[in-house]
């Protein structure tokens, strides 16, 4: 009979991964060689050029690459060096000074936004990697306030405001959200009443629930605000319109008949001065109405080419969808950066194993199952987000482009921001205590970007937009239902994969339609029926995004250089298996998969993680994230040296 000590030793040996799982090309390498591997990545099965994959994922034309390099040089200015140990006032001042450097250099402008929206998007994405507070502050000024002037105003507004917006002479705010109304913008309470005798609008906050809330740039720096308000002329209601309302004078004092309060300390984005606004019958000139979709003549006659209030409102908010596009793209970049930091650390950090020969934590299956599926998901989403950006930047959008932009931006903003939040949590845990340190970047991204899920549209509400569109398509006979595929011969075959995801989506569309019709047959209103189906609606929105992501991923693989196809296919297979495994209950309960097929898919995850182990490090090092933005000590080749005694990090 074995002794107690022998039994413990056998158990430990059983739980410790065998040395055979070490990467063939790294078993005798130093940490520096592991993290800074050669130009070409290789394992026994996969070889690819890392720079080639970097550029393929970047998918940028030459003039944008040049602009990125120029912005990267600007961001080497010491003012953009990481700095965390500050109070709120210091955060805000630093963010303002950083913004002024960007504006003075002409790196971000409303003119650029109008002329080359792709360049603008990518520039803002880069700023988000440096400092989310900076990108949000500039985003409020340009993407929201400036964009409202540009796309809701007319020539007189462009002449009056754009130059001052581009030079920060007129710092702007975006006054949509109220204390009592967020997602339901058509329900805002702020009023704009036209006075024919003076040819002015009277902007008023009728109650405390109507105060403008969480208004970026309002607490300290904003001088003008694009205010969403209900228009009234001679007691007739004309719906929500947007007005330019002064809130501060040029000397920084509060404008007459305006009250401002600070929103105070927040979970994150301490550099953004969010504030609250009240208007006490604030009078503004008639020309301050942004009148592209509706105007008021001197005598009070209302003029619009769109007679329906709801359609007019839809036309007003449609140009503002760029915020969702930017959130999706920025969230994906942060996901990649966090995965780069955590994966590099995982290939260096050693824990447990035989004395003096501890094992890298990436060799533990629990670590692989947290990081590798998220790496595959980030690669997959790269192609879907890139397609979304192309739709958004299309200069002459067809009606189909406009509809696709609304649906895709709603779905991808929700799913990518949720994915980012999950990745930040997983990578924080994978880095152990080091993930808790601000120095290692993940913790700050967690707090700063938590807001992604609820601003520019609450994610659950946005997925309702996706589901509503699919339901309309089904009712109009433009949606093709898909049958399940119970053939389990090859779960890595793309045709099987896409049919599986199409089936889930179409089954949810059909189920939703049947549920709502049943509610209507019982005498309930459409609103009541919709509310009883919100769980199905949310699942449908997510299923739609999973399906379009897989389809765009496959197009990316098809168009990729032959040297990249194998590694991309590995990522596609892991993405598919992980997504199905996450929702395995639905597939099995609704006969979308045979039990044996479901088991194959579930079992494939560990195998695919094993396949990714030799190349995982090189894969994240191929991500299209500039190295200069990664300063986490644990991401460095010899991270222990980054913590040597006497080395101070004065930030």
Instruction: List, by residue number, the catalytic residues.
Output: 456
| CA gap 119, 509 in Å, rounded | 37
Burial class of residue 524, CB neighbours in 10 A (0-12, 13-18, 19+): middle
Give the integer Cα–Cα distance in Å for 229 and 176: 8
In 3D, which of 556, 624, 610 has the Cα closest to residue 43?
610
What is the spatial distance between Cα 568 and Cα 579, in angstroms, rounded to a whole number? 16
Output DSSP code: residue 6.
Answer: H
What's the token pair of residue 555?
Answer: 């197009």
Mention every residue, 6+ apart, whose C-beta is less than 8 A from residue 458. 182, 183
Neighbour count for residue 184 (Cβ, 10 Å): 10
Place of tokens 């195998």: 607
Distance, C-alpha 362 to centroid of its chain: 27
Question: What are the two backbone dihedrals, phi and then psi, of residue 39, each rounded to the nearest 5 degrees?
Answer: -55, -35
Which stretch of DSSP H or E encloses residue 359?
strand 357-360
Residue whose entry in the numeric block shows the structure tokens 């991204």 = 445
Axis crossing angle, helix 562-582 with helix 50-58, rounded to the nearest 10: 60
The SS3 assignment for 510 reads: helix
Buried b (16+ CB within 10 A) or exposed e, 449-460: bbbbbebbbebe
- List residues bridging with 275 in a β-sheet: 215, 262
Could you give the C-alpha distances from 132 to 19, 99, 135, in angstroms and in order? 42, 12, 5
| Strand pairing class (200-204; 191-195) | antiparallel
Q: Distance (Å, rounded) from C-alpha 154 to C-alpha 281? A: 25
Task: With CA atoms as reference, report the closest residue to 166 among 104, 208, 212, 120.
Answer: 104
Joined tokens for residue 296: 């008021």
Residue-by-residue DSSP string for 588-617: HHTTSS-HHHHHHHHHHHHHHHHHHTTTHH
User: And the tokens for 135?
Assistant: 């990108």
Alpha helices in 486-583 (DSSP H): 494-521, 526-532, 534-559, 562-582
353 assigned ligand-binding residue? no
**Residue 460 contacts residue 410 (beta carbons within 8 Å):** no
- Token pair, residue 143, equals 């993407």
What is the 3-state composition of the chain as percent helix, strand, coil, each rounded to the nearest 5?
60, 10, 30
Q: Does 216 belong to an annotated binding site?
A: yes
**Nearest-5° Cα angle at 141, 404 to 623:** 55
Half-sphere exposure of 356 (CA within 13 A, CB side): 0
Spatial separation of the C-alpha atoms in residues 448 and 455, rounded to whole Å: 12
Place of tokens 């964009």: 147
Binding-site sequence positions: 177, 216
Binding-site sequence positions for FAD: 177, 216
């Amino acid at each position: 009979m074995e002794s107690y000590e022998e039994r413990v030793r056998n158990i430990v040996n059983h739980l410790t991964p065998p040395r055979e799982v070490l990467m063939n090309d790294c078993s005798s390498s130093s940490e520096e060689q592991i993290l800074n591997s050669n130009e070409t990545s290789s394992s026994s099965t996969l070889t690819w050029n890392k720079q080639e994959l970097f550029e393929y994922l970047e998918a940028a034309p030459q003039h944008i690459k040049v602009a990125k390099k120029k912005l990267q040089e600007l961001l080497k200015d010491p003012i953009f060096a990481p700095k965390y140990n500050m109070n709120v006032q210091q955060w805000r001042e630093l963010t303002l000074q950083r913004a002024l450097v960007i504006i003075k250099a002409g790196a971000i402008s409303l003119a650029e936004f109008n002329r080359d929206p792709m360049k603008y998007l990518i520039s803002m994405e880069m700023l988000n990697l440096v400092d989310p507070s900076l990108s949000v502050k500039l985003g409020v000024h340009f993407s929201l306030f400036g964009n409202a002037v540009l796309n809701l105003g007319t020539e007189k507004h462009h002449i009056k405001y754009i130059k001052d917006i581009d030079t920060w002479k007129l710092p702007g705010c975006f006054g949509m959200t109220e204390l009592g109304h967020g997602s339901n913008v058509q329900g805002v309470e702020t009023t704009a009443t036209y006075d024919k005798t003076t040819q002015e609008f009277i902007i008023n906050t009728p109650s405390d629930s109507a105060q403008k809330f969480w208004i970026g740039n309002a607490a300290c720096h904003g001088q003008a605000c694009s205010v969403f308000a209900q228009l009234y002329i001679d007691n007739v209601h004309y719906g929500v319109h947007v007005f330019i309302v002064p809130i501060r004078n040029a000397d920084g004092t509060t404008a007459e008949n305006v009250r401002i309060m600070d929103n105070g300390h927040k979970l994150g984005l301490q550099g953004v001065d969010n504030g609250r606004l009240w208007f006490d019958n604030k009078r503004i000139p008639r020309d301050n109405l942004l009148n592209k979709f509706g105007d008021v003549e001197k005598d009070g006659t209302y003029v619009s080419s769109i007679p329906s209030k709801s359609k007019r409102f839809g036309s007003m908010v449609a140009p503002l969808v760029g915020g969702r596009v930017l959130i999706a793209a920025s969230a994906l970049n942060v996901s990649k950066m966090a995965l780069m930091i955590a994966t590099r650390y995982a290939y260096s950090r050693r824990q447990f194993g035989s004395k003096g020969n501890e094992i890298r934590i990436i060799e533990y299956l629990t670590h692989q199952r947290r990081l590798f599926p998220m790496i595959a998901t980030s690669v997959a989403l790269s192609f879907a987000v890139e397609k979304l950006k192309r739709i958004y930047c299309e200069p002459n959008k067809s009606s189909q482009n406009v509809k696709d932009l609304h649906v895709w931006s709603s779905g991808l903003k929700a799913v990518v921001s949720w994915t980012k939040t999950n990745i930040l949590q997983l990578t924080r845990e994978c880095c152990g205590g080091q993930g808790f340190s601000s120095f290692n970047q993940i913790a700050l991204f967690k707090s700063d970007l938590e807001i992604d899920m609820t601003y520019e549209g609450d994610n659950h509400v946005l997925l309702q937009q996706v589901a509503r569109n699919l339901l309309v398509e089904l009712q109009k006979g433009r949606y093709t239902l898909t049958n399940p595929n119970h053939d389990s011969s090859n779960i890595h075959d793309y045709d099987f994969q896409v049919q599986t995801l199409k089936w889930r989506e179409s089954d949810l569309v059909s189920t939703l339609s049947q549920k709502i019709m049943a509610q209507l047959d019982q005498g309930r209103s459409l609103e009541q029926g919709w509310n009883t189906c919100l769980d199905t609606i949310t699942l449908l929105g997510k299923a739609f995004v999973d399906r379009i992501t897989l389809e765009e991923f496959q197009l990316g693989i098809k168009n990729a250089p032959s040297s990249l196809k194998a590694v991309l296919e590995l990522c596609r297979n892991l993405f598919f298996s992980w997504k199905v495994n996450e929702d395995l209950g639905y597939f099995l309960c609704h006969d979308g998969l045979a039990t044996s097929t479901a088991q194959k898919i579930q079992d494939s995850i560990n195998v695919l993680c094993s396949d990714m182990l030799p190349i995982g490090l090189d894969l994240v090092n191929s991500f299209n994230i500039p190295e200069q933005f990664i300063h986490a000590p644990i991401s460095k080749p010899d991270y222990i040296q980054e913590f040597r005694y006497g080395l101070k990090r004065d930030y």
